[in-house]
Chains A and B, each alone.
Chain A
């Protein structure tokens, strides 16, 4: 009975490494084994078991992992009911969930139907609600229409009167003095001044329609906050360790400029926005995260690897491609595959017109013509070694 020394352990582990076992796994074994008193035979048994189990867990060669991934995501998709949980109360907003959201993701829609951001804050803003509100007030978009009773048109003097509500202005951290400066582009050739809690604009226009149009523009003018960030909600994070801001509406570009925002953790659910700001790898991570959210919320358990293939495929060309006919399915080289997918007649007509060639290398086209499909066993073929054969024949001829 030979005791295992560190030297023997390293020797054996090196053999395992050379045999193709990943370094991580070897590290785990080393950690577990190094402080245990083992006999050589026991170590041998252990390492053999590891080797066998590892290789058994690997995917077989030519396994149609794409097809399996598609089915593994699609099948639970049929289980997804259209139930969306409506968040109760005024304080939370509804987000697209379930099947509609999954479709949004897979179709690589330019804009999600419920854009939302989760803004993480830097210390010390994330520790207390008071501090967090400070950042919140810098972000939440406030329009004139939210801080006035009404905006009146004075037809006698051709003026616009904006009656501000001081309580709301104070709550949102808006200084009434600054409003004239913010609105100065609307004074056109005229004047703008403040009288108490009212702002009076005299734009020098004497036309009713123009005045009304101007009024509409003024109502919509953003006086504070980041454009696009409609509502902010202060909430404790999932693990209850800090305050985060959830918003309705996204503007990552704008929000990361704000002091107090943690730019390394803040995300939105707007995948294209993330792609533009942080690159294709981040977008890929987003696709996976968002898809996981959908499936988890519906109570479906889809293995991560199927989503990994999906997102890798969508991000393959450097920007996000949708799965449908405007994206990946539409860029297949096989005419039959495209025709079998959507817009059949157009594909066939164009193919004939441009003299396209069908090489029958993929799955749908081989199914259509009834040939063995290039999956698993079907991906192997027989090769004939002509030179060797001639050698053998020559030898036979000599006899």
Chain B
């Protein structure tokens, strides 16, 4: 039986992930005056990172639905290789 490929991005628990361009990434870091390592991280082999084609060094914007505040909250993760 061949493995059915499922789209991880469709699951109800997976929020929208957006891969930022180099310019957008730069703008983000400048806006908050931070370095790339100050951001929360995600792994290159995270199922969603693979699905959107994110590689080490990229910044991913995650748009989460919020129940406590405004409708959507942006969260950012810096993509890194997993240290063995």
Binding site for B on A (CB under 8 A): 22-25, 256-257, 263-265, 267, 274, 276-282, 285-286, 304-305, 308, 312, 315-319
Contact = CB atoms under 8 A, between A and B. Distances in A.
Contacts of B82: 318-319
B59 interface: no
Contact of A278 (B13, B40, B70): B13
B49 A279 contact: yes
Interface residues of B, number: 30
A107 B43 CA distance: 21
B31 to A, nearest CB: 15
The 9 nearest A-B residue pairs measured at CB: A279-B48, A282-B13, A24-B70, A318-B41, A22-B70, A285-B13, A318-B42, A318-B43, A279-B47
A318 B67 contact: no
Contacts of B33: none
**A contact patch SS:** helix
Interface in B57-72: 62, 64, 67-71
B44 to A, nearest CB: 9
Interface of B: 1, 3-4, 6, 8, 10-15, 17, 40-43, 46-49, 62, 64, 67-71, 77, 80, 82
B14 A279 contact: yes
A257 B70 contact: no
Nearest to A286: B13
B42 A274 contact: no
A354 to B, nearest CB: 20
B41 A23 contact: no
Contact of B40 (A263, A279, A308, A316): A316
B69 A263 contact: no
Contact of B3 (A257, A274, A312): A257
Nearest to A22: B70
A279 B69 contact: no
Nearest to A282: B13
Contacts of A280: 42-43, 46, 48, 77
B26 to A, nearest CB: 22
A318 B12 contact: no
A318 B77 contact: yes
Nearest to A316: B40
